[in-house]
Structure 1
């Protein structure tokens, strides 16, 4: 059996997230359908993680095993010719037999984009969240500095993120190597997060709460209290999905 690794980019606007569903279009579902058709196999695709409805990706990693001998360039061309235009496989390569797109992950990087101008360009409306006001970037960065390192992120964990009856493992503890916000243009801000893993809605919940600090509705000290509370009910609303992009998935040998 060949073990193949894919790098996939997608616009998640019209999909119900990554994970296959029986009654809605998903990224995994479309990829499995197309790859199965070309390889004449039943394909079970493993993604590096699950993205929610409306979330996008520049570089989602995935893997599957197949006994098909089809050359990789032909598989790449064939899949992209059939896939919906909102999904493209950027790369396919042979992987080690024990490689698994999810369990072999060492880190992921997410981007979240905000537009602050009075009027949002309509071409950006599906990829950036519009907040038409000046935001306190320095105060927001002070909040983000507090979450770098290893912390219990229960305050930013969505319901259903994990089975809380399981007492082994790391629970809601994650390690972030990077958490920054910076201007990319005059009216655009971008959050960047890199970590060894992310809880469900974790990035969007952090952004939603940090934005309250940027708007002057919460303080940096208040954010610190929220982080230490380990209680989702004290944090702010979840930021919208469409501003979020999975940028890259990293593995040990890369």
Structure 2
């Protein structure tokens, strides 16, 4: 038995997220079907984490076990020859049998793209969140930096989130301006359901002056109603998953 690791890029527009659904199209299901065509056997693909409906990935990591007589690196081209064009295997390799894409992850980086212009974009519409308001980038940056650290992020997750432990660590937040595009990268040891999208929505609401409250007070409140909107799914990308503690040097 071999353990095969995949690094996957996908456009989430046409999928109900990563995780397999009973009646909806998912990224996991499409790739599993592709592997079945190659190996003639069903497999279970273990992803590093779920992405929601409409969310994209640049570096999703997943593993599966197989006894097929196929070298690990060959799955890349084999799968890319049959997968739809909005899913691409960037790398494939055989890895230690004990490796698990989710349980061994040390940190993740999510990228969020905002299109900040008074008119919408036909080009960027499926890959960014359109914000037509003038934003104070200094306020956005100061508030983003205050999110760095270890906190209970109850205010920044969906009320539907049933997980008792909502403490997470944000290692770094990096903001890059590219013309009308604002890219925010969040790196942390884990993220709650909708956490990145709610943090982004809150930063936008602070930067446009809708929220006057200090973001640290919102954190301390542990109240979802004190935070901002949930930013649109299409602006979010799972960019990278890290499997070493010294993630900054990877």
Are the aligned partners of 2:211 and 2:228 in contact in 1 as well (CA < 8 Å)? no
Rounded to whole Å, the distance in 2 between the matches of 1:222 and 1:149 is 16
Once structures 1 and 2 are overlaid, which stretch shifts more, 191-200 or 222-231? 222-231
Are the aligned partners of 2:74 and 2:92 in contact in 1 as well (CA < 8 Å)? no
Rounded to whole Å, the distance in 2 between the matches of 1:179 and 1:42 is 40
Once structures 1 and 2 are overlaid, which stretch shifts more, 116-125 or 102-111? 116-125
Q: How far 1:2 moved relative to its partner?
A: 0.5
Q: How far 1:88 moved relative to its partner?
A: 0.7
Counterpart in the other structure of 1:155: 155
Rounded to whole Å, the distance in 2 between the matches of 1:227 and 1:163 is 17
Q: CA RMSD in A?
A: 1.4
Counterpart in the other structure of 1:201: 194
Rounded to whole Å, the distance in 2 between the matches of 1:208 and 1:163 is 22
Are the aligned partners of 1:4 and 1:65 in contact in 2 as well (CA < 8 Å)? yes
Counterpart in the other structure of 2:230: 238
Report the count of equivalent residues.
246
Rounded to whole Å, the distance in 2 between the matches of 1:229 and 1:182 is 29
TM-score of the aligned structures, taking structure 1 as reference length: 0.93
Q: How far 1:3 moved relative to its partner?
A: 0.7
Can you list the C-alpha shifts for 1:93-136, whole angstroms capped at 9, x where unaligned? 11111100000001100111111123333111100111123211
Counterpart in the other structure of 1:28: 28
Counterpart in the other structure of 2:239: 247
Are the aligned partners of 1:137 and 1:181 in contact in 2 as well (CA < 8 Å)? no
Rounded to whole Å, the distance in 2 between the matches of 1:5 and 1:193 is 24
Counterpart in the other structure of 1:167: none
